A and B are shown apart, each in its own frame.
Chain A
């Protein structure tokens, strides 16, 4: 709905932010009208979060002005933004896990009774009132770390409303929600705007933007390249604005020709770091020459499943066979030796050693093999040679094998891992969140490489929280919910609605 004739509650004029060596936001102009839902669209690295951090007082603009409700402001900390009615719901929740909802909501604006003593009873009452007023059901006495993700997000929203925010900034709010939960969030957003709350909503998901926004702003490489109305836009037109060229949204691939089963999982039980059951009886098979995609909201056991498969996590019960061999209790090295490639979910935690050079990272899990080493002695010249070849083949930038991994962009870091994993004979590829947080160019590259592996007869298992990625790559789709595979569908039957329902635990 076009609300551009309403009063302007927030405006950015020529907003610019420079970091040493990087221009994150370049001369951005933005207007938010009262009761409007403005969607800010941009791919990873476009500068959305930087912009929001400036509007919330976490960053100081290098140049430009911010006007809130007709007044020019200079925000030096979030407290000042909060005072003017700006509230932010962060992508990574800013909640203290071992504390209760009420404690989290009142943190920083605590209610005290004489001498600093906390008045918990009043705080609990206030939270209850707010949750009723805005239809956000939460239990004020619950402990955050016991709450499901959707509920935690509601706590974040209440936190903002508690401080009388009437301008809300939501940063990638649907990253951790099922399609149904996302719809529920959209309902809440519309209810809020009906009560004259104005919302800026940051995302890189085109479908959502078309579903809920009143107006769309597109950021690309730190610049605002234009605004659009959802009535006049399509996913393709928005994608082109986001990326600046023709974008093919579907991954091009031919039909799969599946062969023998390479990965066979039987009745797998694995528990997580806190001792709770994470994988509760999973049966799965992946065949050579096919891509099996695992869809599901993060936190339903996918991470533990992948770690169990690759030897990084202890298995409580069940069996895993790779290429006919029982690998249930194999170490990571033994599994790699069988021809298993693993693109880990957290590239900086598991996949790379940041202070190491590219060439050292390229042999991270094969440093002990010929020709890189003989017995105890390592041959650094051979390691460098290997690095040079791979850096060229996979277009890693900068193409300098002595560069340190920590100085590369996210996309290039991922390419280093992909180069390493794909450079030896592979029977099974396990890719977890393979394109998380990287630019579109690298995403396309990696998707192409994954399909190429499949076409070479490799069995591919892709786990992704991005439903579109799974639907784009997979030949068969398995949905994980609550530690189990609730259903496996051939791609033809895997519609968004059906998969979304399965992701939320219903039987579709």
Chain B
């Protein structure tokens, strides 16, 4: 490769970074302007952004942990839904929110194990495997859900003392219920593990070039199983969030496509935790902003078009970014020891 070509590749990356920085700057200015003119609304929009983005971040983390190890997870939606339902049931029957959250985590993990079983052991097409989980989740939750079950309350916000008093940033970041906090911490933890530890190195190797890992004695199958199960529990946390923190009850098909939007978030975030976080915030912001404008009567759009927004945004993101992201090279292919 000639040096001229190398320079060209580098400058393309710089170009994207510059555009991103400018865009981020505009958003920041907009927020500051909004806060000066209307602090209550702006704070509300930002808080809503964080809330909307939480399940997306968690779903994206689930997806990227799996993909980094080489497994495509299309079943995040099903994992979220099932976990939401089980967490809801646990809350109804035990009244203990902590137990309910654990139930959600466990459900996600079990479904993750199921996906791993289909993908790694049965060597099924991973997209079909994920679809099976989605269909199973929809069917089982619809079948077993009876209306009229009441929950025993939901998870409340915990203000972090004086930090919550800081204008604008305070109420948005430091006055949140536990799962929202957990999400922020998870982003950092996953980033650290993936890029700074032995486990992360091996995971990435298994996703890029599994036979290279195999020949140095790493158990590719075990790595993939564990990663997908951990990812599943994170998706389970997202499900628990929906019923225990966000809404407080269950509704048929309540995930509403978030699991798939999370995939777009993952791709947009270039399969990195912080990238996913930023991308999810962007999605959440778009939805929160649109809803706010609708309520304030500034926009005369039929509500169905507001409803379409996250899905249209997902397509736009995919169309614009999927070709340009470097995917782990061995993703989607079952590993066969020769």
Contact = CB atoms under 8 A, between A and B. Distances in A.
Residue among A90, A94, A159 facing the most chain B CB atoms (10 A cut-off): A94
Interface string B325-336: 010010000000
Q: Which 10 A-B pairs have the closest CB atoms?
A: A108-B216, A79-B217, A94-B212, A276-B1, A116-B197, A96-B209, A110-B198, A276-B5, A94-B215, A116-B198
B202 interface: yes
Contacts of A146: 1
B181 to A, nearest CB: 23
Chain A, interface residues (CB within 8 Å), range: 20 to 34
Contact of B9 (A104, A109, A115, A275): A275
A108 B218 contact: yes
B28 interface: no
A115 B9 CA distance: 37
A215 B115 CA distance: 51
Contacts of B201: 99, 103, 107, 110, 118
A175 interface: no
A115 B193 CA distance: 10
A117 interface: yes
A343 to B, nearest CB: 27
A78 B198 contact: no
Interface string A68-106: 000000000111001000001010001111110001100
A338 interface: no
Given A78-B216, A116-B197, A117-B197, A97 B329 contact: yes
A116 B200 CA distance: 9
A262 B218 CA distance: 54
A1 B53 CA distance: 70
Contacts of B329: 97
Nearest to A82: B217
Interface in B170-219: 196-199, 201-202, 204-205, 208-209, 211-218
A112 interface: yes
A77 B338 contact: no
Contact of A95 (B196, B198, B212, B214): B212
A118 B211 CA distance: 22
Contacts of B2: 276-277, 280
B209 A97 contact: yes
Contacts, number: 82
A108 B326 contact: no
Contacts of A277: 1-2, 5
Contact of B216 (A53, A98, A109, A274): A109
Contact of B215 (A78, A116, A274, A275): A78
B334 to A, nearest CB: 17
A276 B7 CA distance: 11
A107 B213 contact: yes
A78 B217 contact: yes
B270 to A, nearest CB: 13
B212 A96 contact: yes
B204 to A, nearest CB: 7
Interface of B: 1-2, 5, 8-9, 196-199, 201-202, 204-205, 208-209, 211-218, 326, 329, 337-338
A95 B209 CA distance: 7
Contacts of B202: 107-108, 110
Contacts of A115: 197
Contact of B217 (A77, A97, A104, A117): A77
Contact of A107 (B199, B212, B337, B338): B212
B116 to A, nearest CB: 21
Nearest to A482: B2
A30 interface: no
Given A78-B215, A88-B215, A118 B198 contact: yes
A58 interface: yes
Contact of A90 (B197, B205, B213, B215): B215
Interface of A is mostly: loop
A88 B214 CA distance: 13
B256 to A, nearest CB: 36
A56 B214 CA distance: 12
Contacts of A159: 216
Contacts of B212: 94-96, 104, 107
Given A58-B215, A107-B218, A275-B9, A94 B209 contact: yes
A456 to B, nearest CB: 41
A78 B326 contact: no
Contacts of A117: 196-198
Contacts of A58: 215, 337-338
Nearest to B205: A96
Contacts of A88: 215
B281 to A, nearest CB: 27
A77 B212 CA distance: 13
Contacts of A82: 216-217
B276 to A, nearest CB: 19
Contacts of A109: 216
A372 B211 CA distance: 43
13 contacts: A78-B217, A94-B209, A94-B212, A94-B215, A95-B212, A96-B208, A98-B326, A103-B201, A107-B212, A108-B216, A118-B198, A118-B201, A275-B5
Given A118-B201, A275-B5, A277-B2, A107 B216 contact: yes
A112 B198 contact: yes
A82 B204 CA distance: 22
A109 B8 CA distance: 37
A257 to B, nearest CB: 40
Contacts of B211: 94
B214 A78 contact: yes
A203 B8 CA distance: 40
Given A95-B209, A118-B197, 8 more contacts: A58-B338, A78-B217, A95-B212, A99-B201, A99-B205, A108-B218, A110-B198, A117-B196
A151 to B, nearest CB: 14
Contacts of B326: 98
A112 B338 CA distance: 31
Nearest to A88: B215
Contact of A116 (B5, B199, B213, B217): B199
Contacts of A104: 212
B308 to A, nearest CB: 36
A178 to B, nearest CB: 18
Contacts of A96: 204-205, 208-209, 212-213
A78 B213 CA distance: 10
A384 to B, nearest CB: 32
A108 B213 contact: yes
B193 to A, nearest CB: 8
A409 B198 CA distance: 42
Nearest to A94: B212
Residue among B1, B202, B215 facing the most chain A CB atoms (10 A cut-off): B215
A112 B202 CA distance: 13
B209 to A, nearest CB: 4
Contacts of A94: 209, 211-212, 215-216
B279 to A, nearest CB: 21
A406 to B, nearest CB: 15
Nearest to A111: B198
Contacts of B205: 96, 99, 107
A195 B156 CA distance: 69
Contact of A108 (B1, B197, B217): B217
Nearest to A79: B217
Contacts of A79: 216-217
A277 B218 CA distance: 37
